[in-house]
Structure 1
Amino acid sequence: MSRPQVVIASRELFPFGGGGIGTYIAQTARVLAPLADVTMLTASWYRDKYAELSALGDPRVDYDGARVEFVDVPEPHEYGTFYSHMHLYSHRLVERLRALFPDGGPDLIEFPDYLGEGFVATQARRGGDPFFAGTTIAVRLHTSAEMCEVLNGYLDRDFERRISRDLERRTLRDADVLLHAGGDILASYRRFYGDDLAPGVLVRHPLDDDPTTEQATAPATNEDGPLRMIYLGRCERRKGVQDLFAALLAFTADWRLTVLGRDTDTAPLGRSMRRTLELQAAGDHRITFLDDIPRADVRATMAAHDLVVLPSRWECWPYVALEAMQAGVPVLAPRVGGFAELIQPSAAPGWLTPRPGAEALMAALGPFVAEPARVRSARDPHALRNHVAALTDPDAIRRGYASLLKPADTTQKQVVTTPADPVPLVTVVIPYYGLHAFLEEAVASVVAQTYPRVEVIVVNDGSFGPADVALAEVATRYPVRVISQANGGLSAARNFGITQARGRYVLPLDADNVLEPTFIARCVALLEAREDIHFVTSWNRFIDPDGVPYPAPNEGYRPIGNWSAIVHERNVAGDGTAVLRRRLFEQHHYLEDLTAFEDWALYRELHDAGRFGHVIPEMLWRYRIRPTSMLQAVGVPQEERLQAEVDALIREQEVTWVSTNG
């Protein structure tokens, strides 16, 4: 019997880059080696260095049999129609998975939450992609980029950063499970993001056993001299280092603080935090700043101090706390996140402040600064190491992962590709005005669908020229119904066609576009399985008037869905080619005053009504770009004007204008 296949994806990997996440990935791969065949999927930044270290036999890249594969990191000129660097990277990651596992996805894929690396994979899995049919998608909670920005006091309004925050949020919702290490981590995420997240599963972090790091032993206790404290971590607002300085500098008694960590620009107005701390310290001899030291020396450096102080405003499950305790040094930290369980005074020496901030730190550190013996006498390296061993037990971690490798209940995340009986009727509404050259190809693509129950309505929007005899010719060759109206525009034609529809679902299709054979089946399967999804669309492929595909990187449109609030400023929801529940049109319709962007306006309305759709991240239909199309001739040149018209028309509909006075 073949062994389970596990993929751990992360752009960070020790020893090449990143902090705790990179370390976690490397050690998790080693711990899982007896359980499964492990593949680490990381960024191509490290490809050459990995080859170099492997050739040298460097033990740091010996992952106990786990293989390392790489995803090409996008350059800005390659973004094309992707919304952000991470949107494209997450797509490339899925394509790399398909290449590595040609017979179907692995049993388990684990993504970090940071930057939404697993967005396209979860979007595809939720959309019924057969590749992921047997795959459990897990997202490990490390601290999202959005949480970091909030805790660092600056929510960047840049479009790409906002999109990345949305990708993170959606990935946390659409994953099969969220992995957390304990404490208050999962509860914190639910307080931050709301309860609409994937279910949580507790699986601890293994402890880094970097082969170049020797086990440090606690030095002999020095009963003399001031309290020796060390802060380890980036000089960053969210790490609470400013709070620590404010607390300690209020004491007139003697003490010593060592600060070891890289600088960041998280001080007010984006200034250097290191420089801000130096100004705050004003040359105080009690504070020593250390530059980077070799990783092998970190635990010994900690062991030379009485106390590790980690004053973070929130923290997930930091390795530095585990490493400090393994080095025999007690930790003081606020009762937040993972600290709530990592530090257990009943099991091993350590102290929790009731909350973050300078005031709580002053209250906790004051007695220790006054009487350092309180800390030194409590120091118990044996108890600390036993506590760490219990928290990082490899067998317990393997049991946690083994439970994820069992057949999962996927009814909420993965859908079948065949809808339930009775098979619902889908009405395809094709507005027509002068597109005789393309109409038959559009209709033929509908008739060729793998989905068995489709009716086709062609709405002639007042087009009665000689070439429009194509309507009659198509009607004689294909099972379509042609209806006519006075010329009213695309929105009016769609609305009229929908009023004549008999199907449970409707699909507006422009007369010059082309469906791939499985488009309707894939969309209906998802709609039948999930009542909370109100429409389904997909990525599309751009073609020219002759049907020739556009080249990369602008080869198609890749929306993410109308669940994103960014839909109010840009159409990230999708094109009009979508399968929608017909009952939506009892309350909504295409705005007939618009000459373009009518689909965007509808998706905005649906967003505001809490009716969200899903985007299948595959190119399941073709969008024909014609120089004379309404979008190219009017929509693109007049985009700003049209967006303002959409804003006004939606607002107009929200107001009751008729007098309500008796």
Structure 2
Amino acid sequence: MLLSKGYEITVFIPGKHLTKDKLYTKDGIRFVEFALIRTKASDFLGYETFIAFEFAAVIGDYLKKENVPDIIESQEYNGIAYYILQMKHLGYPLFSEIKVLLTLHAPSFLYHTYNEVPAYRHPYFWIGEMERWCILAADQLTAPGYFLTQAVQPYFSNKLSREIKVIPYPFEEKETEKDLSKDIRKNLFFFGKLTPQKGIFALLKAINNLRKKGWSNKITIIGGDHYYHPEQTSMRSWIKGKYKEEIRSGKLALSGNLSPSQLKILFNEGVVVIVPSIGDNYPFTVIESMQQGHLVLVSKQGGQGELVKHLENGLVFDHTIEGDLEEKILLINQLSLEALQLIRKKAVTSVSEKHNYETVFKEKKKILDEMIFTTNILNTFPFTRQPKIINNKNENKFIPDLLSVVIPYYNMGDYIHETLESIYKSAYTSFEVIIINDGSSDIHSALLETVSTSYPVQVYSQSNKGLSAARNAGANLAKGEFLVFIDADDKIHPDYFGEAVALLKKKKNVSFVGSWVQYFEQSNGIWPAFTPEPPYLLAYNMVCSGALVYNTNDFLQYGLNDPALKHGLEDWDAVVSMVANGKNGVVIPKLLYYYRIRKGSMARSFTPEKIISAVTYIAKKHHAAYAQFSSDLSALYNANGPAFLTNNITLDQYNYHLLPSWIPFKTKIIKAVKRFPALRNTAFKIQSLLKYRS
């Protein structure tokens, strides 16, 4: 449609098995099938999150090579546009200029509910969080029908205040003479994915009830197989077991996926297409079936109910009325051929009237023009669950633009020079360095003395009071508008301070900034941090909270470290406190902080008992915040176990426990399962087969 109106279109498609990008033109549209090789993010991100990151990387390449496009259009499914939108709102060069139109299609946070998927299990809940954030962060939202605009509302903490504009799918085919005189009443087909959401259970139940009344028509089920979580088996297997007599007698057929040419032969003389979805966006199956002159029987629950009018251009039943589907199936045989012919004829014209290019383009163009001629204003960052903002006193005692770097120091003489060397290589030069010597030994205190002769640092000494007290002492000495803590054995990237301060200055609702973390020395792993928001934040430390760049005033009011947390997690507690008080933070998805992994460090001495003690204290301390999200937290804990056993919310942690320990190459298998969703169902099947042996 857009091509026919003079627009230049480029379509980006993930190329799962490519080693380089594949570019081609088809019907005047440029396609970029991009190789998933631009980043190494598959080493530390789950599959869906990795794809979103790679998508942003390829868009970044094309932004550099070509002009910034007028519009980037994406769907929300699996958060594919997550990192494009993150980079836009974080002010990345060129990304900040793009305008993103998000077309709602099939949000997993909604469809998982329909499909009885354990939606709070990792990574499903995180994928839903990405989708929710994309919906809030895009410049404009559209959906093909009104159903989805309402169905997503309960999945936001406050009702979605943004308007979702309804733009029907464009659909045109060459007009061909259709023979609508055939009797199609015995050609019944279910056409759709084998999922609960598509209404397969309701249909099979209705058929079973009809059989008891003597109804003997055959029904054919066409559609791809899917995993059914409650029974830990595939839908196809479940149906074959439950309805084996029906299948054996030939009254129920499972055809699987069929090619367009196979469907054309099968549907050549016309059929009845049943679409009994319990909730659906606006299934294209209905549009195609109606345009081809088939009789459609659809549920009221979904976008299809907006196109199909009962006994006018199809048949409609209501899931909330007991026996209504059975009644409407029987009605098909009760209607005369002439009545059916009129309904089918009206179906064809209905699609042409509502979905023709001219009608749809008129509405689409309004949105595109509005976006193109609207200037981006990005002075705030969108948060999924925005707590009440507390307007704290704005102290003017701090020096504008100055960053106070506070280094708590306890017997770190072997590392402090390396840490300071990285700090003084910072591209951002307006900073002061404050070192708090927290009762170090004479040897390490002497080593610290030599530092002041090499670097312009301020050293303050106190008796040993612990990490929290040392950080707080440094914060209270800070003169800068901004504040950062750096452990005395860690390092930073030269760009970290500059990028963080720029965000704090630009985003008026952001109080702290973090980044991804690169481990070094005894580990080369990566910590991919994420925007710290509840409910996840209350269960799982989403950022390297000891290395954040803060607005100093906000930190002093809400982020001072709690000395009572003597075993650790005092920095996580500080983040929880700030967010609970409306002081939010963001994460730059770059490796800008280097965290040393070494024996003897405080973090290495964590035990489950220490963590449980600290988490219990934090939950009681922030009772109101935990109470607000208690149902989400309960569901997360039940789905995933103790949060401290989760090291990455983007990975499928659950399947680690499914396979017996005696399976060869278990570690490699689990690594693959965590990253690739297609293998999740396989893991479930293997576990089901081996559960008795294990």
| TM-score, scaled to structure 1 | 0.78
1:530 & 1:464 partners in 2: Cα distance? 43
1:63 & 1:102 partners in 2: Cα distance? 26
Q: Which residue number corresponds to residue 66 of structure 1?
A: 30
- Identity score, percent: 20
Letter of the structure 2 residue corresponding to residue 514 of structure 1: K
- 1:33 and 1:64 in contact (8 A); partners too: no
Q: Which residue number corresponds to residue 590 of structure 1?
A: 561
- 1:589 and 1:602 in contact (8 A); partners too: yes
Deviation at 1:68, TM superposition (A): 1.9
- Indicate whether 1:643 and 2:611 are aligned: yes
Gaps of 5+ in 2: 382-397, 625-694
SS in 2 for 1:66: strand
Instruction: Show CA shifts across 1:17-73 (max 9, x none).
Output: xxxxxxxxxxx8x7478312414232333789979xx7xxxxxx7242413231327
Relative distance call for 1:518 and 1:204 in structure 2 (3 A) is farther
1:655 & 1:161 partners in 2: Cα distance? 27
- Indicate whether 1:518 and 2:531 are aligned: no
2:263 & 2:322 partners in 1: Cα distance? 26
1:474 & 1:66 partners in 2: Cα distance? 59
Q: Which residue number corresponds to residue 688 of structure 2?
A: none
SS in 1 for 2:123: helix
Gaps of 5+ in 1: 1-27, 55-60, 416-420, 657-662
Q: Which residue number corresponds to residue 529 of structure 2?
A: 559
Deviation at 1:239, TM superposition (A): 0.5
2:339 & 2:255 partners in 1: Cα distance? 23
Of 203, 219, 222, the match for 1:257:
219
SS in 2 for 1:594: coil
Relative distance call for 1:655 and 1:206 in structure 2 (3 A) is closer
- Indicate whether 1:131 and 2:94 are aligned: yes
Relative distance call for 1:510 and 1:260 in structure 2 (3 A) is same
1:355 & 1:538 partners in 2: Cα distance? 48
SS in 1 for 2:209: coil
1:461 & 1:267 partners in 2: Cα distance? 53
Q: CA RMSD in A?
A: 3.8
Instruction: Show CA shifts across 1:285-325 (max 9, x none).
Output: 65444344331343564463453221101111221111111
Instruction: Show CA shifts across 1:329-377 (max 9, x none).
Output: 243322334224333569x613433446763423544433433548514
2:5 & 2:447 partners in 1: Cα distance? 64
Instruction: Show CA shifts across 1:607-627 (max 9, x none).
Output: 555654211111223333334
Q: Which residue number corresponds to residue 113 of structure 2?
A: 150
Relative distance call for 1:644 and 1:473 in structure 2 (3 A) is same
- Indicate whether 1:118 and 2:76 are aligned: no
2:455 & 2:198 partners in 1: Cα distance? 67
Of 433, 443, 466, the match for 1:456:
433
Relative distance call for 1:401 and 1:496 in structure 2 (3 A) is same
Deviation at 1:154, TM superposition (A): 2.5
- 1:175 and 1:413 in contact (8 A); partners too: no
| TM-score, scaled to structure 2 | 0.75
Deviation at 1:95, TM superposition (A): 2.4
SS in 2 for 1:250: helix
- 1:560 and 1:573 in contact (8 A); partners too: yes
SS in 1 for 2:258: coil
Deviation at 1:525, TM superposition (A): 3.3
- 1:31 and 1:206 in contact (8 A); partners too: no
Alignment of 1:183-582 (within 5 A): 183-194=146-157, 195-196=159-160, 200-207=164-171, 218-222=178-182, 226=185, 228-251=187-210, 252=213, 253=215, 255-266=217-228, 268-278=230-240, 279-280=242-243, 282-283=245-246, 286-299=251-264, 301-302=266-267, 304-344=269-309, 349-355=313-319, 359-371=323-335, 373=337, 376-381=340-345, 384-385=348-349, 387-388=351-352, 390-393=354-357, 395-396=361-362, 399=365, 402-403=368-369, 406-412=372-378, 423-443=400-420, 445-446=422-423, 449-451=426-428, 453-475=430-452, 478-544=455-521, 554=525, 556-563=526-533, 565-581=535-551, 582=553
1:259 & 1:413 partners in 2: Cα distance? 52
- Indicate whether 1:165 and 2:128 are aligned: yes
Letter of the structure 1 residue corresponding to residue 300 of structure 2: R
1:435 & 1:105 partners in 2: Cα distance? 48
Relative distance call for 1:645 and 1:113 in structure 2 (3 A) is same
* Matched length: 596
Alignment of 1:23-42 (within 5 A): 31=3, 34-42=6-14
Relative distance call for 1:173 and 1:470 in structure 2 (3 A) is farther
- 1:202 and 1:400 in contact (8 A); partners too: no
2:520 & 2:356 partners in 1: Cα distance? 54
- 1:439 and 1:511 in contact (8 A); partners too: yes
Instruction: Show CA shifts across 1:429-487 (max 9, x none).
Output: 21112323443454455455555653432211112524534544544565543222211
SS in 2 for 1:596: coil
Relative distance call for 1:264 and 1:540 in structure 2 (3 A) is closer
- Of residues 476-485 and 118-127 in structure 1, the stretch that sits farther from structure 2 once superposed is 476-485
Letter of the structure 2 residue corresponding to residue 589 of structure 1: L
- 1:451 and 1:520 in contact (8 A); partners too: yes
2:427 & 2:20 partners in 1: Cα distance? 46
1:447 & 1:69 partners in 2: Cα distance? 43
2:172 & 2:463 partners in 1: Cα distance? 72
- 2:291 and 2:347 in contact (8 A); partners too: no
- 1:571 and 1:600 in contact (8 A); partners too: yes
- 2:308 and 2:316 in contact (8 A); partners too: yes
2:466 & 2:428 partners in 1: Cα distance? 29
Of 5, 8, 16, the match for 1:44:
16
Letter of the structure 2 residue corresponding to residue 614 of structure 1: V
- 2:18 and 2:36 in contact (8 A); partners too: no
Relative distance call for 1:241 and 1:429 in structure 2 (3 A) is same
Relative distance call for 1:336 and 1:408 in structure 2 (3 A) is farther
SS in 2 for 1:168: helix
* Runs of 4+ residues deviating >6 angstroms: 46-51
Relative distance call for 1:308 and 1:601 in structure 2 (3 A) is same
Relative distance call for 1:74 and 1:519 in structure 2 (3 A) is closer
Q: Which residue number corresponds to residue 9 of structure 1?
A: none
- 1:313 and 1:356 in contact (8 A); partners too: no
- 2:132 and 2:156 in contact (8 A); partners too: yes
Relative distance call for 1:408 and 1:268 in structure 2 (3 A) is same
Deviation at 1:493, TM superposition (A): 0.8
- 1:127 and 1:526 in contact (8 A); partners too: yes
Relative distance call for 1:302 and 1:580 in structure 2 (3 A) is farther
2:179 & 2:592 partners in 1: Cα distance? 65
- Of residues 39-48 and 426-435 in structure 1, the stretch that sits farther from structure 2 once superposed is 39-48
Relative distance call for 1:129 and 1:375 in structure 2 (3 A) is farther
- Indicate whether 1:96 and 2:58 are aligned: yes
Instruction: Show CA shifts across 1:521-563 (max 9, x none).
Output: 3223333443443321111333439xxxx76xx3x32111321
Instruction: Show CA shifts across 1:73-98 (max 9, x none).
Output: 799x974333x222223222322333
- 1:44 and 1:72 in contact (8 A); partners too: yes
